[in-house]
Structure 1
Amino acid sequence: MKKLVLATVIALSVSSGVTLAADTATQHFIPVTEANFAHAETARMYRNWMKAGANQQFAILENLPPRGNKAPTVQMNDDTLYAVAILHAVEGKVTFQIPKTDNYLSVQVITENGHGEYLIVEDGVHTVKVTDTKTAFLIYRSGLENGIEQARESLHSVDVSLFDFATDYVLPKYNFEEVDKEVWKRKRIVDGIVEETGKFTYTFPRTPSEVTDLQQWNLENAAGWGGASPVANEGNKYVNSPFIHADKCVTTTFEDPKNTFFTSVTAYDAEKYLIEGAVAVNSYTWDKNKDGTVTISFNCGDDAINNIDTSAYKGDFTITTRHYGATQQVIDSEYDLIIKQLKEQNG
């Protein structure tokens, strides 16, 4: 049983055979278009994780995701450990196992077109059909509610003998510098939407047939690739905030949404990467007010309740709210109850 243990992810300059099919100086690249952007961005994510051997071994993050753009994926959460396996879809299906654990442990099955077709939390061996894909990208998320050691143990107890690793997978011939530029452009569009409307909410359609707004789908892939669809008490809801002034004390006070699994608030830099020293606040550990509400503070000092300190970044930042196993009320709400209550404090 092979496992890849990563102390830091992707920051390692690992060469695992992730090469383009021809020399980049002479290669004819696939143009990146609106129609194939999700496929191109997904190929970039495959490329990032293949550097860690995810198409050959179970690539386990032993620690929380790296801060800044060393992270393999944008908007990684700060509440779980990750592990990834890239598998063949054999006769249109993939097989994997979720061991019995005492912490949150899920598997998301993502196709080459970027769709998180399944999010599964039940223990046992699962075989699922996947749509329009020869391989599938499996993301394991292991919750930290019982500590990081148990989160690691849960990932290491996965039966990887069931995995049919896609060792012969060849990346599509995209110019990934061009993909990076297209991602950057769409992130700026997301910024504009948030500044105009006060939020950006992710829908993450599970299959191509569920895409009703191609621009929205492409924006979601650029700003938050790999998220799960908001299905009541099972899937997740994610919302981005407007930029928050880093030199102000800002708070939000809200009723506990009581999502099925957990709720979290995470700060990100302008490119949607985690900030050094800015630890997420989640419902596993947050302190509540006497009336049962929750207050989360940003840059309000060490004595402030549930304070998130972004000072290492030196710039304005955004937050993302995550509702894991979102309630129907959270899904139906037009405005995120946490982001809506953001207020600058005097002094």
Structure 2
Amino acid sequence: MKNFEGSGKNRQLFLFAAFLLASVTATANNKPSVLIATNIEQFFSPKGLIVTKEYYPVAESARQMLETQKKAGGVNRFEHLSQLTRTSMQPVVRMNRDAYYSKAVIDVSAGASITLPEVPKGRYFSMQPVTLDHRPQAMSYGAGTYELATHRGEHMIVIIRLDSNFSPKEVKRLQQKIIINANSNKKFSSSAVQKESFYQVENQLKANILKLMKQEGPVQLSTTLFSSPTDETRSYYQPDKNQTAAAIGWGGALAKDNIYETSPNYPANGCYQMTFEDPKNRDFWSITVYNKQGFMFDDKASTNSYKAKPNTNGTYTISLGCSKDSPNRIPIVNESGIFSITVRHYGPSERVIKKGYRLVPLLKSMK
């Protein structure tokens, strides 16, 4: 200290360094804090984060988790839907009436698992975990106890599906037997976001699907759009695909579990038909009609292989619009004046996965 005090130059350097340190500390202390949303009502805020394309999958997953946590009554609890999805209750775009749903936000930070009960043979019963950054993991099927783990954050959202052949009474009984085993029960919370930027980015990403289809083709894209960090599909991961998938179909499944086909938009008048061979999926296929915005507009605007009547030669003809006596008729008229369809292959067959058999290209106008 004596040498320092005797050196005017050193003293000036010391004081300058101390000033810089104080400035940095003050800047850090005055840095605006991130607004935390502990419930869905706090998620959108003018003081929240500006959503970018890169952050959108996390933002949408966080929104879904907060919404589910509220409806379920807390963390590690299920929101059970013992009725098929109604047109008035659609939490995301391109919902369907193929299955009864249960959802839960689960704290996996100290270990967690789900136990599923027995169901009759041949009935569809699946459990799908989705991570905070919208990386769906492979589905588990049927009775058993399944461990849960995530590569990001401390929570996951789990989606249970039971096929539409169950009665509401049967579904309620089975749903009550699904057990969550979790060693921690911290509530999920997330950064609040600015609403305008959220929906602006969402619309941009929805439009991006056309570019991706042009780049890869609809068949290839339908097998690589969703990917998991925990299995062989990790090689399919591309940020723009994950972002687009979260916007057009949050909670979608890996190709080995479900393959999706979505048509272009068509005028919602006239008559359209598609005749196709049974793809012979492990579980079933379905066709759902949507309006311009991607929402169901009629509780009858869908069919599946459980309900559709085959032709005498074993093929199926689905009629969209058309006269009331047309085979397997689905209505298409809606206020938007536009319709599109999504075909879902549950447990897709080898012909669908590896040979690229698709139904949407068979849709034709019957003018």
TM bin, normalised by shorter chain, reads 0.7 to 0.9
Cα distance in 1 for residues equivalent to 2:68 and 2:218:
33
Shift in alpha-carbon separation, 1:20–1:146, aligned structure 2, 3 A: closer
Counterpart in the other structure of 1:96: 114
| 1:221 counterpart = 2:246 | yes
Counterpart in the other structure of 2:105: 86
Counterpart in the other structure of 1:265: 287
Cα distance in 1 for residues equivalent to 2:95 and 2:184:
23
| 1:64 counterpart = 2:81 | no
* Structure 2 letter corresponding to 1:279: A
Does 133-142 or 266-275 show the bigger shift? 266-275
SS of aligned partner of 1:153: helix
The match for 1:212 among 232, 237, 251 is 237
Counterpart in the other structure of 1:284: 306
Cα distance in 2 for residues equivalent to 1:104 and 1:194:
30
Contact 2:98 2:163 in 1 (8 A): yes
Structure index of larger Rg: 2
* Structure 2 letter corresponding to 1:52: K
- Report how far residue 145 of structure 1 moved: 1.9
How many positions carry a matched residue from both structures?
A: 321
1:257-313 CA-to-partner distances (Å, cap 9, x unmatched) read 011111001111222211224431101111000110011110112211111112244
Counterpart in the other structure of 1:343: 364
Counterpart in the other structure of 2:31: none
Cα distance in 1 for residues equivalent to 2:262 and 2:300:
16
SS of aligned partner of 2:361: helix
SS of aligned partner of 1:125: strand
SS of aligned partner of 2:338: coil
- Report how far residue 191 of structure 1 moved: 5.1
Shift in alpha-carbon separation, 1:277–1:53, aligned structure 2, 3 A: closer
Q: TM-score, normalised by structure 2?
A: 0.79
Contact 1:251 1:344 in 2 (8 A): yes
Does 51-60 or 32-41 show the bigger shift? 51-60
- Report how far residue 194 of structure 1 moved: 6.0
1:87-134 CA-to-partner distances (Å, cap 9, x unmatched) read 10134x431111101231111001111111131113111113322231
- Structure 2: state its 5+ residue gaps: 1-37
More helix by share: 2
- Report how far residue 315 of structure 1 moved: 1.5
Map 1:35-54 onto structure 2 (within 5 A).
35-53=54-72
Cα distance in 1 for residues equivalent to 2:184 and 2:40:
14
Cα distance in 1 for residues equivalent to 2:292 and 2:298:
13
Cα distance in 2 for residues equivalent to 1:260 and 1:48:
32
Contact 1:85 1:165 in 2 (8 A): no
Shift in alpha-carbon separation, 1:153–1:302, aligned structure 2, 3 A: farther
Q: TM-score, normalised by structure 1?
A: 0.84
Shift in alpha-carbon separation, 1:17–1:220, aligned structure 2, 3 A: closer
- Structure 1: state its 5+ residue gaps: 1-15
Counterpart in the other structure of 1:331: 353
Shift in alpha-carbon separation, 1:210–1:152, aligned structure 2, 3 A: farther
Cα distance in 2 for residues equivalent to 1:243 and 1:104:
30
* Cα RMSD (Å): 2.6
Cα distance in 1 for residues equivalent to 2:136 and 2:218:
26
